[in-house]
Structure 1
Amino acid sequence: MTSPNHALGRALEQERTYHDTCRAALAAMLDAADHRVATGADVSASGADAETLGHRFRSHAKELREQPPGSLFFGRLDQEDGQSHHIGRRRISRHPADPPLVIDWRAPASRAFYQASAGDPQGVEVRRRFGWAPFSKGDSADLTSLEDEQLGRGEAAGASAIVAGEIERPRLGPMRDIAATIQPEQDDLVRAEPARTVCVQGAPGTGKTAVGLHRAAYLLYTYPQRLRRSGLLILGPNRTFLSYISEVLPALGEIDIRQSTVEDEIARHDVRAHDSGAAAVVKHDIRMAAVLRRALYARVAPPTEPVTVPDGSYRWRIPVHELERIVAEVREETPAYAVGRERVRSRAVRAVQLQAERRAGPMGNAWVRRIGRSRAIGGFVDAVWPRTQPEEVLAELLTDPRDPLLAPGEREAVRWDRPPRSYRSAKWSAADLVLLDELAGLIERPEGYGHIVVDEAQDLSPMQCRVIARRAAFGSLTVLGDLAQGTTPWAARHWREQLAHLGKERADVVQLTTGFRVPAAVIEYADRLVDALGVDVPPARSLRRDGELTVRRVENIASATVEAVREALEHEGSIAVMATAQDTDRLRAALRLGLPGGLPGRVTVLPAALAKGLEYDHVVVAEPSAIAEAEVRGLHRLYVVLTRAVARLDVLHSRPLPPELQGF
């Protein structure tokens, strides 16, 4: 009789051999891709077709070449019909026409890997998961374990040790993909239809960011022509965050996706001025959309005299009342400002054309173009609908803000103390760039994207939301965030209002409340703050019971931080010390002096303001009350900081803790 250990060892050897086969096939795929690039597209194709094929060949070769090292599959499905499919991050086959050795996790056949259960096996007899050695580069010898779930027999296997091990693996370097551990509720969001806008309210550690990135990869795989033509954009809160997520999409086979911030998208000018807090709040307020529209269209003036257009020996005359009608009709149509200007021109030309045709019959296109370029028509258009630039409009507004939508104190807050001689020499603030983008969108509609993934969306101001809405007018969004983590002065308190600013007020709002990364002890401690945050979100919960939480009152924060980091270095994984911006330099200096050899590479000291979206195995929070008092929404910031730990959290305080955290 074969022992279970012998059977397991034999199964592992078979799978390792299969992995070697897949590795050889992947190498052959890369050689074939390089050969296609070298030989070029079919020489009989037209120039445009050859260029298109060449680009496709180069892109495919680049994707294969830049695939991060790692295991080639993480699961297997044995079907009722006798077929077996290995599931991995990309399709692998010996030849494009051959059955795949590995099926891409995004393919329809792979969905059962994430959705099948003992109660609903979906034609799956056995679901197998593979365990790989931590930080494996994809050597077959690193395949160390496997688990089988007998779904066809209705046997529930319970919690997967392999899934738990992957989720709880120490966090070093950039964010990893979660293709091997996607849960059914996450899979539903990942595979949502491309036209569907989804808002994910996700508690800390629920994987909302990973869900958004995997949805981007899924949409590009499933609808490549549609989205590569219209574009897909990932918007993160800052460059630190984008660096953190940078390796997820390449690991999933997608390397040419634009990853940016709202600030990058609207960077018409360098930021050379800084607003007061009061001015920034006013400029980010939704009322500024109406203020800017009125400032722009205040430049449109009613005609005051008829227009006379010379045409050879004739002079055509357009009376004032007809010119007034033209301008009024165009204004009622509310086109983009530049489009409205051309409509006024074309309708004035049409008025002349009708007179000419009543006298001499149809006029040709050359005649129409000549009349449109005439000095009389051009002068009329410039008088009633003048050409302008966003900078010119905003400079006039900030020099003398008069709009009654703003209170007197708000007008004074945004008024320039020393106006520039010309809008061309103006120095613009970060908030000004948002307003300039609004004006640019009023003058000429920007090109949009087919889909935009927006992370940390709760922190966007109404005016920043409108930046995104303009670029998604004909596309869809994946909106990711957590109202409890809103830290900007204008952070959202309700998703419906935020979605309305994004132009998607009817979008579905889905809540992810079960955490897989942050341990229960840490989540439960941070949840003490939720009632004080003024937002309607359910308390988070975690499936992990392995974390450690320590709350200590100390005499000296600096020396206690050094000791906490020294103890943390005895464990695997990344370590972060988080404090107010004023305290970070002092704590960094103390760590450099107090640790043997100085500050290790896996230890990061960062201000609380930069913690959002990041995760570390061990987090040391220094003086929580100082973090809470440092800004208007300081308790929200503290909530963010407390939920960055995925293994151990040390809370050090020499002052009394915020009331919500006392009594631990």
Structure 2
Amino acid sequence: MSAPSAAPSEGTPEGAPEGTHDDPLARERAHLGSSRAALRAMREDVESLDITDVTANWVNSIVLTRQIEDRIKALADLADTPLFFGRLDYLHTTQEGQRFYIGRRHVHDAHGDPMVIDWRAPVSQPFYRASKKDPQDVGLRRRFGYTGGDLTAYEDEHLSDPAELERTSRLLQAEIERPRVGPMRDIVATIQPEQDEIVRSDLSGTVCVQGGPGTGKTAVGLHRVAYLLYAHRERLARTGTLVIGPNRSFLQYIEQVLPALGELEVRQATVDDLVAHVKVRGTDSAPTAVVKGDARMAELLRRAVRSHIALPTEPLMVVRGSRRWRVPAYELEEIVQELTDRDIRYGAAREALPQRIAHAVLVRMEQAGEAPDDRVQNTVARNTAVKAVVNACWPAVDPAKLVLRLLSDADFLAAHAEGLLDEDEQKLLLWAKPARSVKTAKWSAADAVLIDEATDLIERTHSLGHVVLDEAQDLSPMQYRAVGRRCTTGSATVLGDLAQGTTPWATETWQLALTHLGKPDAHVEELTAGFRVPREVIAYASRLLPHMSPGLTPVASVRENPGSLVIRQAAGTEERDADVVAACVESLAHEGSIGLIAADARIAPLAEALTAAGLPYLSPGEETTAESRLTLVPASLAKGLEYDYVVLDEPAAVVDGEPDERTGLRRLYVALTRAVSGLTIIHAAELPEQLGRPTD
């Protein structure tokens, strides 16, 4: 860390205690204290607002009260979270002589002058992107180091000084390596230039981020949401934002990032949450799930829905008072055929059909000399005879009942699967024991996605302004379509790593995935610089890449941590559990979080071993508690999580726990790359040959 050195133009903050004039660190601490006091005053100003005589009615009062409560939450001062983490001293242009402290949220003093600038503001951008080659009018960039909430160090970069060499920030490195316990934290202080470009990319475009383990893609996606809400708050307040994760444990892990950045109103969900039209109680075999997730199912469902349309064969007779109005069958057929040819959603066409028929009746009324208005047309549209024609030609369709019939009725399925699915694929779809009703059916997660597709064919799904989709490589084509429906008029940030695809239907290329999502023109960015996983660990895990995802660029870690990889072979299977417990005890001697990752089938015996040894442990998603720093993680839930130290039990068992070798190797790749500081591998069986010898 560089010795403290103050910029010549530095002054003393107003209200700073005596003795700080010649001590730069003391001056910065004084500014921190003043900024916290200013934030506290901002919060107190909001808390003191009296809206008794402001609101016109009780509805406005409730809305305004809720807005004030949200504002108070957003102005909370998190004691252990740095209020600002950097400073920019500008040289010329409009900011000549200006100094800006960069932090998580804007703070101003009693006069309205800024004391801390929001990291998302344009003036803050050079903090992340300025360099010796492109200083962007910044003379000095200062980074701050904290212990808890106390400012304890600073480090300067004189970007305008040609004599000062470009170097890696030690405070930046220390912040990346800082031990973590509990949920994921933000990376706002450590965003790199290539990450910042993605974070600040325009709302109108969809961006896909391919990033290996430790490249920060999840954090980039979350910070992008925070940035977009800052830059387009009014628009996104109307249209909404959504973060989609692979499972509930993952969402619990990331749930504190956005609140730490002052964003409280972003909904988080899994794909299963989005399509929860029925209660999921069943499971599919892998081959069945692959067929149900295939994009061809969208056309099959479209055919099944449209099959309910029938052309009229009888004329319509509408009786109004003493008059009768007749619409011949051929004209009714033309109306139905026109709506069919337009290929609008089934439900919208069903709503339009009675109005079209009523219009045909009104034409006859006008020809007879009457002058009907809109009220007459609406009355005719509700006529019993008109309703009968609509129900006969365009009957109501229940999405769940439709899917139930497809999965239960072989003839109905065959009629609509012709040319799409072969006989073997149709057999995979059919239930061995057809359900009698929607409520008693043992729906699978893939079935729920099919129902969601059918629902959208009937009624349009509401579209949001922006959707972030994480761990996207594991989605099926039909799941991509389900997500895409939620952002048809908005944009998306797609995050994932093709090498970590562990489902039988995992995507092979981003272009194919983006096409299913409905965003074929999305821009694909690749993050290859690793900031989380030590170089020794990621290099070892990357031995698997040629065997499971050839062509992908290995992550190049910027962190050297000698001794971060330890591989131990147990004397036998009986001794293995004891060795795993011992490795956990060794890891707990370090500061930070510990993850014990094992094949799902090994979780129960390891839980018994930990309990017998008196080691308390948590399950994924429970890390917000203070009961233990050790989490027992099934390999199937490890994706997206990270721990300071990881103990990996029996790599061969992780591979063998999957239906095929490639999926098993990808699952192992995920497990190998969860460590921030150290990885210990314990094995009794031989290591997978794709890893080579430990000494290679």
The TM-score with structure 1 as length reference comes to: 0.95
Matched, 1:144 2:155: no
SS at match of 2:160: helix
Aligned to 2:504: 489
Contact 1:127 1:150 survives alignment (8 Å): yes
Q: How many residues align?
A: 653
Alpha-carbon distance in 1 for matches of 2:3, 2:295: 66
Which of 601, 612, 616 is matched with 2:643 structurally?
A: 616
Q: Displacement of 1:366 after TM fit? A: 1.7
Matched, 1:575 2:594: yes
SS at match of 1:227: helix
In the TM superposition, what whole-angstrom CA distance separates every residue of 1:462-496 from its partner, at most 9, and x where no partner exists?
A: 11111111110000000000000000110011000
SS at match of 2:633: strand
Q: Displacement of 1:552 after TM fit? A: 2.3
Matched, 1:638 2:668: yes
Alpha-carbon distance in 2 for matches of 1:249, 1:344: 47
Moved more, 86-95 or 305-314: 305-314
Contact 2:4 2:25 survives alignment (8 Å): no
SS at match of 2:210: strand
Q: Displacement of 1:322 after TM fit? A: 1.5
Q: Displacement of 1:277 after TM fit? A: 2.7
SS at match of 2:108: coil
Alpha-carbon distance in 2 for matches of 1:223, 1:234: 17
**CA 1:468–1:308 in 2, change beyond 3 Å: closer, same or farther?**
same
Matched, 1:23 2:36: yes
Q: Displacement of 1:150 after TM fit? A: 0.6
Amino acid at match of 1:576: G
Q: Displacement of 1:361 after TM fit? A: 4.1
Aligned to 2:422: 407
Alpha-carbon distance in 1 for matches of 2:561, 2:30: 35
Alpha-carbon distance in 2 for matches of 1:6, 1:429: 63
**CA 1:44–1:524 in 2, change beyond 3 Å: closer, same or farther?**
closer
**CA 1:132–1:66 in 2, change beyond 3 Å: closer, same or farther?**
closer
Alpha-carbon distance in 2 for matches of 1:545, 1:376: 79
Q: CA RMSD in A?
A: 2.0
Aligned to 2:544: 529
Contact 2:617 2:628 survives alignment (8 Å): no
In the TM superposition, what whole-angstrom CA distance separates every residue of 1:396-430 from its partner, at most 9, and x where no partner exists?
A: 11111222222222222221222233335433221
Contact 2:355 2:377 survives alignment (8 Å): no
Moved more, 471-480 or 572-581: 572-581
In the TM superposition, what whole-angstrom CA distance separates every residue of 1:57-95 from its partner, at most 9, and x where no partner exists?
A: 332112224857422110001111111010100001124
Alpha-carbon distance in 2 for matches of 1:577, 1:283: 34
SS at match of 1:423: coil
Aligned to 1:175: 184
In the TM superposition, what whole-angstrom CA distance separates every residue of 1:557-581 from its partner, at most 9, and x where no partner exists?
A: 2122122112212211211111111
Alpha-carbon distance in 2 for matches of 1:311, 1:598: 76
Contact 2:498 2:549 survives alignment (8 Å): no
Which of 189, 196, 200 is matched with 1:187 structurally?
A: 196
Amino acid at match of 1:623: E
Alpha-carbon distance in 2 for matches of 1:46, 1:601: 50
Q: Displacement of 1:195 after TM fit? A: 0.8
In the TM superposition, what whole-angstrom CA distance separates every residue of 1:261-303 from its partner, at most 9, and x where no partner exists?
A: 1111111222122223332222111111111111111111111
Q: Displacement of 1:51 after TM fit? A: 5.9
Alpha-carbon distance in 2 for matches of 1:94, 1:4: 31
Contact 2:617 2:632 survives alignment (8 Å): no
Which of 275, 282, 287 is matched with 2:291 structurally?
A: 282
In the TM superposition, what whole-angstrom CA distance separates every residue of 1:182-216 from its partner, at most 9, and x where no partner exists?
A: 00010000001111100000110000000000000
SS at match of 1:240: helix
Matched, 1:420 2:450: no
Aligned to 2:691: 661
Alpha-carbon distance in 1 for matches of 2:603, 2:311: 60
Alpha-carbon distance in 2 for matches of 1:117, 1:587: 49
Alpha-carbon distance in 1 for matches of 2:39, 2:166: 33
Aligned to 1:452: 467
Q: Displacement of 1:28 after TM fit? A: 0.6
**CA 1:84–1:371 in 2, change beyond 3 Å: closer, same or farther?**
same
Q: Displacement of 1:235 after TM fit? A: 0.5
**CA 1:447–1:535 in 2, change beyond 3 Å: closer, same or farther?**
farther
Aligned to 2:134: 120
Aligned to 2:223: 214
Matched, 1:606 2:633: yes
Contact 2:534 2:557 survives alignment (8 Å): yes
In the TM superposition, what whole-angstrom CA distance separates every residue of 1:498-530 from its partner, at most 9, and x where no partner exists?
A: 000110011000000100010111110011101
Moved more, 120-129 or 553-562: 553-562
Moved more, 342-351 or 118-127: 342-351
**CA 1:186–1:409 in 2, change beyond 3 Å: closer, same or farther?**
same
Matched, 1:326 2:335: yes
Alpha-carbon distance in 1 for matches of 2:136, 2:5: 30
In the TM superposition, what whole-angstrom CA distance separates every residue of 1:426-464 from its partner, at most 9, and x where no partner exists?
A: 332211111111111111011111000000000011111
SS at match of 1:200: strand
Alpha-carbon distance in 2 for matches of 1:408, 1:7: 77
Which of 108, 112, 115 is matched with 1:93 structurally?
A: 108
Which of 351, 356, 361 is matched with 1:347 structurally?
A: 356
Which of 559, 568, 583 is matched with 2:578 structurally?
A: 559
Matched, 1:111 2:122: no
Aligned to 2:681: 651
Contact 1:568 1:618 survives alignment (8 Å): yes
Alpha-carbon distance in 2 for matches of 1:175, 1:245: 5
Alpha-carbon distance in 1 for matches of 2:279, 2:408: 20
Alpha-carbon distance in 2 for matches of 1:44, 1:478: 39
Moved more, 351-360 or 452-461: 351-360
In the TM superposition, what whole-angstrom CA distance separates every residue of 1:17-56 from its partner, at most 9, and x where no partner exists?
A: 11110111111111111112xx117627687766654443
SS at match of 1:74: strand
**CA 1:643–1:43 in 2, change beyond 3 Å: closer, same or farther?**
same
Moved more, 605-614 or 588-597: 588-597
Q: Displacement of 1:156 after TM fit? A: 3.9
Amino acid at match of 2:504: P
Alpha-carbon distance in 1 for matches of 2:217, 2:65: 37
Alpha-carbon distance in 2 for matches of 1:596, 1:471: 44
Aligned to 1:542: 557
Moved more, 8-17 or 653-662: 8-17
SS at match of 2:514: helix
Matched, 1:225 2:252: no
Aligned to 1:270: 279
Sequence identity of aligned pairs in percent?
48
Alpha-carbon distance in 2 for matches of 1:276, 1:517: 36
SS at match of 1:101: strand
The TM-score with structure 2 as length reference comes to: 0.90
Q: Displacement of 1:130 after TM fit? A: 0.4
